[in-house]
Amino acid sequence: MSKTWTGGCQCGAVRYEFSEKPGDTCLCHCRMCQKQFGNFFGSFAGADKDKFRVTRGAFSHFKSSDGAERYFCKDCGTPLGMRNLSKEFIFVSIGSLDRHGEFRPENQYGAEAREPWLVEIIGSPCSVTGGYPGDDAARLQMIKNTNLQHPDHDTEKWPPR
Amino acid sequence: MTQTHWIGGCQCGAVRYELLEKPTGAHICHCRMCQKAFGNFFAALVGLPRDKFRLTRGEISNFRSSAEVQRGFCKDCGTPLTFDDLGEDRISVSIGSLDQHSEFMPQNQYGLESREPWFDQITVIPAYDSGEGAEGVTAYAQRLAGFAATNRQHPDHDTKDWPPKKS
């Protein structure tokens, strides 16, 4: 397990760490967050900027309005977080944290734009990986053997030789 | 009138696409590959034959996450846009990037093995409109009008010129 609160993008070009556990966990359903994440909501955890540092690569950003910057990796696109420019507090995307499962959202915002059926999808049929139509064991093994996703911990060298 | 195409794009508007038939098979995937690509708890995707997918502005950048799958995004703002299994004749788009996203309620979930342990609680946690919080209307609400005035997000419809020309 990681010693610190680390995370990064899918391809591994960008890695970051916090010196304390990020808090203020939340979802945001507003259309700005939806579109940044290409999803039903953005999910965030954050800390003061002085508790945060980038340890590999650089955050790219899109200034979505004069109020906020939204961060991503320019090499693989992973949404990495956002900052309200009036605050010295940085949010990262929960999905980019190595220990993402420890960040249950405490609040949700942007309720006016929440997808009307969000409650319903939770009970929809759910299968393990390999259950998607057309998946088979050989395909899963091929993906495993050629997986280029950065693992959920820091690495000395990336990509591996 | 019968709708014949569906459109969408990234947050900044550099990439726009159109779908020449209604995509199907809306689902979410909790596998760690999809989680990380989307920086979230799951990817939300809906697909169609690749020859029915057409770019109408800009280019999609791709990360080849494994030998046969590439994941498309906008290099200018990062929005995850596509999941492209090169071994299939279908391509999926991210539901959140569709202008008519609310029409695509997922019917299935995959990647159960890595579903977040608290996933079934996400709809019961306290919910607030933008600019509100546990204490009611927040100080932040006053700033929202300012954000709206400087919003650089592409709207949920096609535009002739983008970004808008300054008058």
ipTM of the complex: 0.92
Tell if the CB–CB gap between B66 and A143 is shorter than 8 Å.
yes
Return the structure tokens found at A94.
């929960």
**Beta-bridge partners for B61:** B73
Cα–Cα distances in angstroms (integers) from residue A138 to residues A67, A144, B30, B83, in the given order = 48, 10, 20, 20
Name the maximum alpha-carbon separation found in chain B.
53
Tell if the CB–CB gap between A125 and B108 is shorter than 8 Å.
yes
Question: Of the ranges A14-28, A34-48, B147-161, which one carries the lowest mean pLDDT score?
Answer: B147-161
Q: Read off the pLDDT of residues A115-137 as tens digits, 9 standing for 90 and up.
A: 999 999 998 999 888 888 878 88
Q: Read off the pLDDT of residues B136-162 as tens digits, 9 standing for 90 and up.
A: 888 777 777 777 888 889 999 889 888
Q: Read off the pLDDT of residues B117-142 as tens digits, 9 standing for 90 and up.
A: 999 998 888 999 888 888 888 877 77
Pairing of strands B24-29, A15-18: unpaired
Tell if the CB–CB gap between A77 and B61 is shorter than 8 Å.
yes
Indicate the SS3 state at residue A54.
strand
Give the integer Cα–Cα distance in Å for B162 and A75: 24
Q: Read off the pLDDT of residues B39-90 as tens digits, 9 standing for 90 and up.
A: 999 999 999 999 999 999 999 999 999 988 999 999 999 999 999 999 899 9
Return the structure tokens found at A13.
């070009």
Indicate the SS3 state at residue A44.
strand
Which residue in the set B31, B39, B132 is minimally distant from A79, CB to CB? B39
Give the integer Cα–Cα distance in Å for B37 and A155: 18
Pairing of strands B108-110, B24-29: parallel
CB-based contacts of B69: which residues, under 8 Å, 6+ apart?
A143, B83, B84, B85, B86
| The pTM of the whole model exceeds 0.90 | yes
Return the residue of A nearest to B132 by Cα. A109
Q: Cβ–Cβ contacts within 10 Å for residue A34, how many?
A: 28
Chain A residues within an 8 Å CB radius of B163: none
Amino acid in position A68:
A
Give the integer Cα–Cα distance in Å for A85 and A11: 27
pLDDT above 80: residue A1: no
Residue ranges of E strands in B20-160: 24-29, 43-49, 53-57, 61-66, 69-73, 80-85, 90-94, 108-110, 132-133, 136-137
Cα–Cα distances in angstroms (integers) from residue A87 to residues A7, A48, A49, B62, B80, in the given order = 22, 9, 9, 33, 26
pLDDT above 80: residue A20: yes
Give the integer Cα–Cα distance in Å for A74 and A100: 22
What is the 3-class SS of A58-93, one letter each residue?
A: CCEEEEEECCEEEEECCCCCCEEEEEECCCCEEEEE
CA B113 to chain centre: 23
If one compares B126 and A72, the residue with the highest pLDDT of the two is A72
Closest-CA distance of chain A to residue B161, Å:
18
pLDDT on residue B84: 96
DSSP state letter for A95: G
Question: Of the ranges A1-10, A99-108, A122-131, which one carries the lowest mean pLDDT score?
Answer: A1-10
Give the integer Cα–Cα distance in Å for A39 and A91: 17
Q: Read off the pLDDT of residues B14-49 as tens digits, 9 standing for 90 and up.
A: 999 999 999 999 999 999 999 999 999 999 999 999
Chain A residues within an 8 Å CB radius of B30: 126
pLDDT on residue A3: 63
Mean pLDDT, range A12-31, rounded to an integer: 96
pLDDT confidence tier of residue B167, bands split at 50, 70 and 90: low
Percent of chain B with pLDDT over 70: 98
pLDDT on residue B165: 74
pLDDT on residue B146: 75
Tell if the CB–CB gap between B41 and A94 is shorter than 8 Å.
yes
Average pLDDT for chain B? 92
Size of interface A-B (CB pairs under 8 A): 270
Q: Tell me whether A57 touches chain B (CB under 8 Å).
A: no
Tell if the CB–CB gap between B94 and A70 is shorter than 8 Å.
no
**Could you tell me which of A151, A156, A133, A30 has the C-alpha nearest to residue A82?**
A30
pLDDT on residue B145: 77
Average pLDDT for chain A? 92
pLDDT on residue A2: 46
Tell if the CB–CB gap between A38 and B41 is shorter than 8 Å.
no
Tell if the CB–CB gap between A109 and B146 is shorter than 8 Å.
no
Closest-CA distance of chain A to residue B117, Å:
7
The CA-CA-CA angle for residues B10, B34, B108, to 5°, reads 95
